A = this chain, B = another copy of it.
């Protein structure tokens, strides 16, 4: 990446420290250099250093302790990942089959898309896919996913039947979920849903609309899902 001359000092500091933490130069529990040391290194003053550290706190990279210093903390992993669980235990890979109803394809955003899109996002278009997850042979979760199509070359060729979407995004494109928001409803299965999930019309179905920000600017993942929670349930961490 070409660094612009006008990049603010505090932003340089943020990316430098982030990189060093990601690369393992500073590990979990390590103490970062003190604010005054960072001032010397970057030839700047404490308010500027603190501005950078505040951002790292927000991102979950560090915690600060009064009188002690900045301690590297675990970057939250698994954030935003939903898993299907049974009443006794988790659902293993053997019992889970993913059926692709619509292969990953480049399209334009739907006209009635329920989230506001930035100009850049609209311009970029999106990748769309629809999947149906079967647990022990039972269709349980229907999910439609929209991903901003920014800098994801050849993403459509990945086989998302065997590997999870988030795994693939992370492994091949270094995309990480930073934060997200979800809206949750309990709805009645209409005719379409009843057919998809093989339940009777009127059955309670869990419905979620989710938007997830990533470490890549403008790359947002949107997910709309319906889940039959009769036998299993949805679990997530925050």
Contacts and interface: CB of A to CB of B under 8 A. Distances in A.
Interface residues of A, number: 30
Given A204-B204, A205-B204, A238 B184 contact: no
B235 A206 contact: no
Interface string A111-142: 00000000000000000000000000000000
Contacts of A181: 76, 235-238
A156 B76 CA distance: 34
Contact of A229 (B80, B180, B182, B186): B186
* Copies in the assembly, this chain: 2
Contacts of A207: 186
A229 B204 CA distance: 11
Interface in A176-220: 179-188, 202, 204-207
Contact of A85 (B85, B183, B234): B183
Interface string A40-57: 000000010000001000
Give chain A's interface secondary structure class.
Answer: strand
A233 interface: yes
Nearest to A212: B238
A79 interface: yes
A237 B177 CA distance: 12
A58 interface: yes
A236 B233 contact: no
16 contacts: A58-B58, A76-B179, A180-B237, A181-B236, A183-B234, A184-B184, A184-B233, A184-B236, A185-B206, A186-B187, A186-B206, A187-B204, A188-B204, A204-B204, A204-B205, A237-B238
Interface of A: 47, 54, 58, 76, 79-80, 85, 179-188, 202, 204-207, 227, 229, 233-238
Given A185-B229, A187-B229, A204-B204, 7 more contacts: A47-B47, A80-B238, A179-B237, A181-B237, A181-B238, A184-B235, A186-B187
